[in-house]
Structure 1
Amino acid sequence: MKLYRLLTGPDDASFCHKVSAALDKGWELHGNPAYAYDANANQMRCAQAVVKELYGQNYSPEMKLGEQ
């Protein structure tokens, strides 16, 4: 089973830490990061897709993807 997550956050160190934590748990980058200006927050926002292959498990919508 392959899992997919889209990590998002402000364009600062906290976003880099979020992506680094996912990589440390075995997630892999999927595609390029994206950047967009959030006019409501008056800041740049980042997004990065990550994927992870899990064996011997079936997908369930109740899964906590961040805990995988």
Structure 2
Amino acid sequence: MDTSAIKAVVFDCDGVMFDTALANRKFYNDLLATFNKAPLDDEQFKNIHMMTVKAAVEYLYPEMDDHQPVYKM
């Protein structure tokens, strides 16, 4: 693949171009269900929606010292 014509790669992280809220909520709810945790409430979702994955995992699993099992899912 010839990539020489590519001038820029744009990442939309805040919903300007794509509304990813429902996909993010489903992702985290599926992850929580894997560990037998309740789905996100509205306050939790508001907080994690703008966090990095690392920050969100730390927020959602404060009881875990090692988050590797979460990342392996």
Same fold flag (TM > 0.5): no
Structure of greater Rg: 2
Q: TM-score range by the shorter chain?
A: 0.3 to 0.5
Greater percentage in strand: 1
Q: What is the TM-score when the length of structure 2 is the normalising length? A: 0.33
Greater percentage in helix: 2
